[in-house]
Structure 1
Amino acid sequence: MNSNQLRQLFLSFFEEKGHRVLPSASLIPDDPTLLLTIAGMVPFKPFFLGKKEPLYPRVCTVQKCVRVSDLDKVGFTRRHHTFFEMLGNFSFGDYFKKEACIFAWEFLVHRLKLSEEKLWVSVHEKDEEAFHIWKDVVGVPEEKIVLLGDEDNFWASGPVGPCGYCSEIYFDFGERLSCGKPECKPGCDCDRYLEVWNLVFMEFDRQSDGSLRELPRKNIDTGMGLERIASVVQGVDSNFETDLFLPIIEELKKRSGLDYHSSTLPFFRVVADHVRAVTFLIADGIFPSNEGRGYVLRRLIRRAYRYGRKLGLEKPFLYELVFKVIEIMKDFYPELVDKSRLISQVVFQEEEKFDLTLKSGLSLLEEMVSKARKEGLKTVSGREIFKLYDTYGFPADVAREVLQEEGLDYSDEEFKQEMEAQRLRGKKAFQEKEQALRDYKALEEALGSFKSEFTGYDSLEGESKILVLLSKEGFCDQAAQGEEVFLVLERTPFYPEKGGQEWDTGFIIAPQGLARINRVFLVGESCIVHQGRVERGRLQAGEVVVARVDSRRRRMLAIHHTCTHLLHRALRNLLGEQVKQAGSWVGEQGLRFDFAHFAPLTEEEIKAVEAEVNAKIFEDLPVVVSYTTLEEARRSGVIALFDEKYQKEVRVVRVLGYSAELCGGTHLTRTAQAGLFRIISEGSIGSGIRRIEAVAGPLALERFQKDAQLVKSLKEAVEIDESQLLDKVQGLLEENKQLKKELTQFKRQATVDLVRQKILESKERVFSHLFSDASLDIETLRPVFDELRDQPLSRVVVLGMEKEGRVQGLVGTTGQLVRNLDLKKLVKEALKVSGGGGGGRPHLVQFGGVPRDKWAAFVEELCRLVNRESPE
């Protein structure tokens, strides 16, 4: 049975049991406590917490997941992965332990035809109910039910949130994979007993203080790794031998020419695993960066590329391997086919960038080798290797390989000390982030039960009651002048920060006071929190107040948000439908729009995009809001900007006849209300991601006016008509370029003349000269050697240039008597005295990195070596 059949059999089985089949959610979770979707239950967390009403009491999914907590084990064990698929069935207050156990056993034994003799069960040592269900209802022999503790049989989604006892089903692979210990049984670290299914009995909600609170209703969350159950059904010892991985490994074997055997086996597995994760992360809109999800992706690409090098793959290869992943997974994830070009291009750019990192790192490593030899050391500083790894991304194991080729090594102890110091810094940062999450959780616990009705789509002002008032000390009955407050209203026109749009500001006007609202944000699903300061009098909980939004700020937010929709459509029209929004920010002072594209926009393209947006503004198109189901929105071609898979109703914003997107923000009613649109800048913010910054409305008019004033000032400065201004400026630039070229040629000739004269006057066999002119470069010196090569006098010429305390330059020969010298070898030896590095041809060598105060020592040592090799 192949993996596609397994997925379908699972979903069909649970559909027969009354479950609604739902698609996989994105790898980007709608959860501030999680970086990535790490389990099948993540999309359903609000249902487990009772904060959101599920559409169906029973559902089942095949959920794509990514975890990097055990990254160092991936490829070196049979089962660890970064990307994996979790088969899961869920109950939201419907059935509980008994049905969950019966369903799982029936699927494994009767649908997959697994031998009952091979199956074992574990339960939490305190969960007597689950023990008796397995023994008395399902009929599992008591000796095959293992009692385990919290480490094995208590499941949690994170530091806070849903959790509960769990029961696991194991498959026994037999004695051949056993550790041989008499006490070997499920829970042992060996490969004999494979955990294939985890049934989580969701009973508790872990609070920010670590305490367990019973959930409003009992739930079931199960997870069975597709990769694991595939290995069982397909009769192989490792997940990597299943049809999910084997075609990738076969492709790697073909490319590398190596066999998949014990010594190279982990390398094949690491690459095969990581390329799957990389493919799905990019498909879900994650792009390489130096933080968050983007850093996870970058790290996986680099790690896979490094292990590819161990297989002899010395140039980018992952970008082609993603097509093998897509071929394997396309039947169940057809969206991969549509995004294949995007995925491949992102990976290729990242591979190329990392390849350059490796090459530049090698240059720095050579300097370390030179320094170590000069000082007579056999080891390089571990701190320097860590810096190379931490700052430049140069792998420590590659550094060790290079050093060993030179008969050197680096200090493991120093490297580990630096790594530990970084780990402690990272731990501190994590603790600070975790505390922030706990603070958010505490606020959610305090306010999550309150609900606010948002009225701001239709009105910017309205009466409402203060449901709750908080100061820094906690809940309070009233707040006086000068106090910072958080308050929740029964109804509010204030739009909270979400969907990339900034929050509204304004005032809360009370019978005996007034508060200025500076920030508005969401807690939970529907509690809108107003943060501000009491400027006059006092506010009191329970009183009726007037909430008034700053209309000018709201207007600018609506202008810029509407323009992001116009901009998105214009980009897709002009650059292609593959353009995908990767993020946005909408503020009072402008907008930022991030999108996937693999080349800078030309000036013509920028002008065309700007012109199309303005054309739609001038057409005065109606902006219409409607509500529908997600399925209907997709059928009608609406662009989804965020994941609303499990929402019953979605909000659609249409610019009639032009664009349609899912969006919850505030907008204009007609495009002409935006006035004008102006692109300020366009540039890269990461591999394959571009950013446009723009302004609209009054701010766009100001920008056009400033540009007009600049043109006027330039026209007056060069005293020419506006129609000829561009030609004039281009002429001046060309003239300046020509003058610079002539000046460079003059300097080069002057240098040649100076050196030629000094060589003719010198009686030394090794002639040296140090230039202090900062405008000179290596290319200026090369013609000197071209002109001196055929001089009758035999000389070794050393020309250096001082820049920022270091000397770089060239060493070459003239005449015939010293043509037998290998300058490359001599210069490398002389640099051991002074430090620095060099390389080139036997009769023309480039060097660099020589400290200014070691210049004389370098020349003296080179002179000694020349005389030794070619005495007069």
Structure 2
Amino acid sequence: MTSSELRQKFLDFFEEKEHKILPSASLIPNDPTLLLTIAGMVPFKPIFLNKIQPNFKRVVSVQKCVRVNDLGNVGHTARHHTFFEMLGNFSFGDYFKKEACLWGWEFLTQWIGFCPARMWVSVHRKDQEAYEVWKNYVGVPPERIVFLGDEDNFWASGPIGPCGYCSEIYYDRGDAMGCGQSTCAPGCNCDRYLEVWNLVFMEFDRKADGTLEELPKKNIDTGMGLERLASVVQEAETDYETDLFLPIIQDLEKMSGNDYSILALKPPFRIIADHIRAIVFLIADGIYPSNEGRGYILRRLIRRAYRYGGKIGIHQPFLHELLFIVIDGMGNAYPELDLRKDIISKIVYQEEARFEGTLKSGEVFLNQLIEQAKKSQRQQLSGKDIFMLYDTYGFPSDVAEDILQEEGLQFNKAEFEDQMEQQKNRARKARGEKDQLMRSQKEIEELFTGVNSRFVGYNQSMVNTEIVALSDGEDRISQAETDQKVIIALKESPFYPEKGGQEYDTGWIDSEQGRVQVEKVYSEFLIEGTVVSGQIKENDRVWAKIDTQRRRLIEIHHTTTHLLHRALREILGSQVKQAGSWVGESGLRFDFTHFSALSEDEIDAVEDIVNQKIFEDLPVVISYSSLDEAQRAGVVALFEEKYQSLVRIIRVGDYTAELCGGTHLRRTSEAGLFKIITESSIGSGLRRVEAVAGPVAFSYLQEYYRLGRNIKNILGSDHHQILPTINNLIENNKRYKEELQRTFQSHARQAIFDALKVAGSNDTPIYLTHLFVENPPEVDYLKEIIDELRTRLKQGMVVLGIKKDEAISGVLAGINLPQSIDLNRLVREITKKIGGGGGGRPSLVQFGGIPFGSWEEFIKAIKKMTDQIS
């Protein structure tokens, strides 16, 4: 029976038992306490914790899971994995122990074909009820029911809260798989009794004092690993010999030319086969390689798999090809894999290629450290050395740790962390001014403690209000005079503060006695400005007016940012997620997750969509909703953001809906025009688009129009002929440069051979020197001349130089000189005294940086030292 058949049979069986089949949840859990979905019950955790009411009383699922807490065991044991599929059936206050046990036994014996005589169960030593169910209702002989303690048969969601006893179903794989001990039974650490299915009876609420109270509604949570089930059904020695892993391993055998049956190669084969499954599913769920969180887990798995490829003879990127065997095998169960296979492959290849160079350069240094440690019989390497490896080569400490463990070594982690902390402190010091600014803002806010203000700027650009508090930045004050900097709190404020990526409003505050120019808005009630005339006082009635032209430009850029976000997801894929943004009067900046640079066609397509939505004159509608309702309706929210229970939703027609607190246009047509200026990388897996809209976009295009018009006038051609004319000029220029270079090279060659005629009048060996000052050729051409001279001279020394910017570079060559003459060492000794440097082979050295005034000294030193040696 194949793993695909097992997966489907499980779903079909429980569907017959009136369970609702639910698809696998994402590997990104909706749970801030978890980085990844690590168990089948994770999506239902809010139900078990009684935070939400379920829509169904009975549910069945096959949940994709990833765990990385025991990476060191993966590939070295029969059943440790990073990615696995958890088959689970759940009851939310419906059936309980009797049904869970009966159906578990029925499925395994009647639907899968397990021999009842080889099946055992375990129950908690205090769970007499479960024992009675297994013995009296299921019919398991008492001698094959084992009592175990909390470590094996008790589940809890935490130190307090829902918990309960477990019951596990075991399969006896026979004496050959056992430890041979007379005490061998379920719960033993050997491979004979394989735990197949864990049934959790969630029946208690554990209090802070440790007491257990019965829950009013009792739940069932079961979990059975597909990999383990397949290994029993397919009679495989380990999970890796099942159809879930063997096709991957066989593909690896073809790639590497090595055989999985070789005992020493089994672990690397298994590690790669395991990791590639996790890699595929993590990326399919929108996780990209990065240096923190989920992204770092993915990056680490790719690096480990790539490095283990070297151990089976693969020394170039290969994972981006191997992953297609995973997608082919699991695409039917998880259609998202096939939809995203090209993106997954590109991301993996880029990460492999990036790590390839790091691994090659860093391993040389690390191997030297390992060799030194072994020579001095040390078991531990310096943390400073591993930090230098990281800081100099970008070599990850976790990869270094893996390699050291394979060599029976470790490094001083405390010393490494100390070096990392020192580096962070240096970075913190560099950010000191910014931190000081943030501290001062907090201090200012404390001056206004107890002051209340109401933001009215969504609907009003001008409001008649009252100054409720003033400050000079140091203390609260009652009034401020002309030219004085002041911080104001208004009873009602139309000024939007700097938040959510949107720039603050500017404008004016006018009273009968004075005027304040608003320069910055920290929050809804902290307005910074300068008294430009008269004076203002606490309790003054004032008119607060925003700069509507500036606000308009910001609204244009903010509204088009929403369109841009959706357009990027349309063109690049739903894995694109916002990673930051800024909108102001001069333009917008949008950061997002993506694995590669956008092509010109992709940029054009995004621009076209945004402009099309502008031209469609879509309404921009603001509404409010609970966060749960908004998420159920598919409104886009930033995972990292913290939202209030009541959220503000921006809908642009039926095209996009996002949670946002900023200010926006009323209709998209008010934006006028949209243009992307630049697209660039801001880090691994992160891209940035800078764009302009409205009048700013028009000014940008006008500037380019004028530039094109000037170019057209200079070239004297029609605008349709500008590009062909420029291309023609470039080609002609390139051709002229090549001809000029050939002329210079011809003159250089002639000069050298003229010098050779003069030097040739002397006895062998010949000393030939020449320095090019005017129109110097390239050093590579001098090497070509050296090659030609080797065919003409029986023996000699040739020194050819090029003067550029008062420094000389060139080549020094020996032709049939005695082996005792090492020109490489000779040049190093001379340049130590006169300046410059060089390197190469004993018979051919390239040098550079020699001061122009030291050329003759350089030549004399070479002649003198070679004369002494010969």
- TM-score, normalising length from structure 1? 0.65
Q: In terms of mean alpha carbon deviation, does 4-13 or 209-218 score higher?
A: 209-218
Partner of 1:610: 607
Q: In terms of mean alpha carbon deviation, does 149-158 or 235-244 score higher?
A: 149-158
Partner of 1:87: 87
Offset of 1:187 from its aligned partner?
Answer: 2.5
Offset of 1:595 from its aligned partner?
Answer: 5.5
Encode CA deviations 1:310-337: one digit per residue, 9 max, x unaligned.
2222322222221211111122112222
Partner of 1:619: 616
Partner of 2:668: 671
Partner of 1:275: 276
Distance 1:355 1:118 in 2: 49
Does residue 200 (structure 1) correspond to residue 196 (structure 2)? The answer is no
Offset of 1:234 from its aligned partner?
Answer: 1.6
Distance 1:786 1:84 in 2: 62
Partner of 1:691: 687
Distance 2:393 2:665 in 1: 47
Does residue 109 (structure 1) correspond to residue 148 (structure 2)? The answer is no
3-state DSSP class of the match of 1:44?
helix
Distance 1:748 1:639 in 2: 70
Query: Which one of 416, 422, 427 corresponds to residue 410 of structure 2?
Result: 416
3-state DSSP class of the match of 1:200?
strand
Distance 2:206 2:813 in 1: 74
Partner of 1:309: 310
Partner of 1:323: 324
Q: How do residues 415-564 of structure 1 correspond to structure 2 at under 5 angstroms?
A: 416-419=410-413, 421-422=415-416, 562-564=559-561
Offset of 1:115 from its aligned partner?
Answer: 2.2
Distance 1:201 1:641 in 2: 36
Q: How do residues 381-392 of structure 1 correspond to structure 2 at under 5 angstroms?
A: 384=385, 387-388=388-389, 392=393
3-state DSSP class of the match of 2:171?
strand
Partner of 1:176: 176
3-state DSSP class of the match of 1:263?
helix
Counterpart code for 2:326:
V
Distance 2:312 2:809 in 1: 37
Distance 1:285 1:209 in 2: 42
Counterpart code for 1:342:
I
Q: Is the alpha carbon distance of 1:386 and 1:533 closer, same or farther for their aligned partners in structure 2, counting shifts above 3 Å?
A: closer
3-state DSSP class of the match of 1:60?
strand
How many residue pairs get aligned? The number is 734
Offset of 1:800 from its aligned partner?
Answer: 11
Partner of 1:594: 592
Distance 2:504 2:140 in 1: 62
The answer to whether the 8 Å contact 1:561/1:665 transfers is no
Distance 1:427 1:226 in 2: 43
Q: How do residues 336-375 of structure 1 correspond to structure 2 at under 5 angstroms?
A: 336-361=337-362
Offset of 1:591 from its aligned partner?
Answer: 4.7
Encode CA deviations 1:676-720: one digit per residue, 9 max, x unaligned.
434343123567x562434566xx64576588789999999xx99
Distance 1:326 1:695 in 2: 37
Offset of 1:240 from its aligned partner?
Answer: 0.9
Partner of 2:854: none
Offset of 1:567 from its aligned partner?
Answer: 2.5
RCO comparison, higher one (Cα < 8 Å, 6+): 1
Encode CA deviations 1:113-151: one digit per residue, 9 max, x unaligned.
312332222334454544444445444344433344444
Partner of 2:57: 57
Distance 2:303 2:228 in 1: 26
Encode CA deviations 1:634-660: one digit per residue, 9 max, x unaligned.
xx9x998899xxxxxx9998755xx64
Could you tell me which runs of 5 or more consecutive residues in structure 1 were left unpaired when the two chains were aligned.
403-408, 430-455, 462-480, 483-494, 507-515, 520-530, 536-549, 644-649, 802-806, 850-858
Encode CA deviations 1:57-100: one digit per residue, 9 max, x unaligned.
22111011111111111111110111110001112233333433
Q: Is the alpha carbon distance of 1:185 and 1:14 closer, same or farther for their aligned partners in structure 2, counting shifts above 3 Å?
A: same
Distance 2:391 2:201 in 1: 42
The CA RMSD measured in Å over matched residues stands at 6.5
Partner of 1:246: 246
Q: Is the alpha carbon distance of 1:782 and 1:582 closer, same or farther for their aligned partners in structure 2, counting shifts above 3 Å?
A: farther
3-state DSSP class of the match of 1:616?
helix
Partner of 2:225: 225
3-state DSSP class of the match of 1:332?
coil
Encode CA deviations 1:37-72: one digit per residue, 9 max, x unaligned.
111111122222222222112211101111111111
Distance 2:206 2:37 in 1: 19
Counterpart code for 2:411:
Q
Encode CA deviations 1:733-761: one digit per residue, 9 max, x unaligned.
99999999999999999999899999979
Q: Is the alpha carbon distance of 1:80 and 1:794 closer, same or farther for their aligned partners in structure 2, counting shifts above 3 Å?
A: same
Encode CA deviations 1:574-620: one digit per residue, 9 max, x unaligned.
xx575752335455544525254644433x75456435423431331
Encode CA deviations 1:365-395: one digit per residue, 9 max, x unaligned.
79x599989xx99999766467436764659
Counterpart code for 1:670:
R
Could you tell me which runs of 5 or more consecutive residues in structure 2 were left unpaired when the two chains were aligned.
424-454, 461-475, 478-495, 506-519, 529-545, 640-646, 803-807, 850-858
Partner of 2:514: none
Partner of 2:46: 46
Q: Is the alpha carbon distance of 1:88 and 1:588 closer, same or farther for their aligned partners in structure 2, counting shifts above 3 Å?
A: same
Q: Is the alpha carbon distance of 1:258 and 1:411 closer, same or farther for their aligned partners in structure 2, counting shifts above 3 Å?
A: closer
Q: Is the alpha carbon distance of 1:671 and 1:706 closer, same or farther for their aligned partners in structure 2, counting shifts above 3 Å?
A: closer
Distance 1:294 1:707 in 2: 39
Distance 2:208 2:754 in 1: 79
Q: Is the alpha carbon distance of 1:95 and 1:681 closer, same or farther for their aligned partners in structure 2, counting shifts above 3 Å?
A: farther
Partner of 2:185: 185
Counterpart code for 1:264:
L
**Residue identity (%):** 49
Does residue 582 (structure 1) correspond to residue 577 (structure 2)? The answer is yes
